[in-house]
Amino acid sequence: MMNILVTGGNGFLGRHVIASLLAQDNCKVTCLIRLGSQLNGLPEDKITVIRGSLNNLDDIKTALKGVDTVIHLAASMGGSPMGMFIETVVSTEILMSVLSESPVKRLVFCSSFSVYGASQLNPGSTFDENCPLEPNPEDRDAYAWCKYYQELWVKENIHDETELAIIRPGVIYGEDKGLLGPRIGLRLPGIPIFLQIGSQARLPMTHVENCADAIACATLSPNKPVGAFNIVDDECPTQKQYVKEYQKNFGSIAKRVVIPYQLFLLLSKVYSIFHQLSKGNLPPIFSTYKAKSMYRRFDFSNQKAKDELGWKPKVSLQEGLASAYLPNNEK
């Protein structure tokens, strides 16, 4: 019986990871969630829920009692840059300090595709686990550089006795999350027009159930795979294909308007000035990095995950979009 601690288990991805784990018969799951946060549908009768903070040593030590495997999902998805740094990087530093003194057998850490340096690659390149990481993370948005330093801290502080698997998902979507995010474009409030960023670049989409299954495979596989694994769906549509598929399921977009590259680059440079003046509080909707990466076409490989994790995406893009929302629940 494997005893697993999941951080961030009541989050969007975490709930699906726990469901994937509970579908197996060989694990006991403990979930550490913030004080005052909602369970969000977690089955309290099937798991152990501990309320505490990843920024508190005693809470972490309590949660780790009897645990041999940790799935670290917790990360901040928004807020001020400093708040995101504390909730993502500092909390991971504290967790790793405890694990360095009391090592577990296995750590499965959820990173992100955002740690890669897309602007460093030539158009037409294939993203795989050998691609270089971002050389200038400070030039990226707060989420990207927080995930970069979070992964860096995990790799540099992993105990010699602990097996480490790093999961790098693409753009996670499903249910009510991530269908038309800022990576794809901007919706104009009250107007059925979508300002699309780029057209022919592929999107590294990852349905939440596919990502959760990959994390469960990395956790439970008898082969005990280690290293980094890119988790993207088999179908990585272009921006144009994705928005068209979205329109097919939801009729709220009457017209797509593709922002020309030179215009987006100019807007990015101007917006970056205001972003800096706001000391990071203005969300980085436009950035020169995004201009350089979102107008270049890349391919994305998930072959290593298939070969070494024994994982296979089960939800297609069409199925994922069709089941993600009821149209009247669209946000």
Q: What is the pLDDT of residues 273-307, one digit of tens each?
A: 887 787 666 666 667 777 777 788 899 999 999 99
* Side-chain half-sphere CA neighbours of 34 within 13 A: 13
216 in Cβ contact with 17 (< 8 Å): yes
- d(CA 132, CA 317) in angstroms, rounded, equals 27
Closest CA to 99 of 51, 158, 50, 149: 158
| pLDDT of the residue at 220 | 95
pLDDT digits 0-9 by tens, 178-195: 566 666 777 777 777 788
Phi then psi dihedrals of residue 191, to 5 deg: -125, 130
pLDDT per residue, tens digit, the chain (331 aa), is: 899 999 999 999 999 999 999 998 889 999 999 888 888 889 989 999 999 999 999 999 999 999 999 999 999 988 888 999 999 999 999 999 999 999 999 999 999 999 998 878 888 899 999 999 998 888 788 889 999 999 999 999 999 999 999 999 999 988 766 566 666 777 777 777 788 887 888 889 999 999 999 999 999 999 999 999 999 999 898 888 888 877 776 666 667 888 888 888 888 888 778 877 876 666 666 677 777 777 888 999 999 999 999 999 999 988 887 776 544 344 3
| pLDDT of the residue at 322 | 76
Helix (H/G/I), strand (E/B), else coil: 294 = helix
- Taken as a whole, the chain contains a residue count of 331
168 in Cβ contact with 201 (< 8 Å): no
Q: Which domains does the chain have, with CATH numbers?
A: 2-175+205-234+299-317 (3.40.50.720)
Task: Dump the DSSP string for 80-111.
Answer: -HHHHHIIIIIHHHHHHHHHHHS--SEEEEE-
| pLDDT of the residue at 179 | 63
- d(CA 27, CA 9) in angstroms, rounded, equals 15
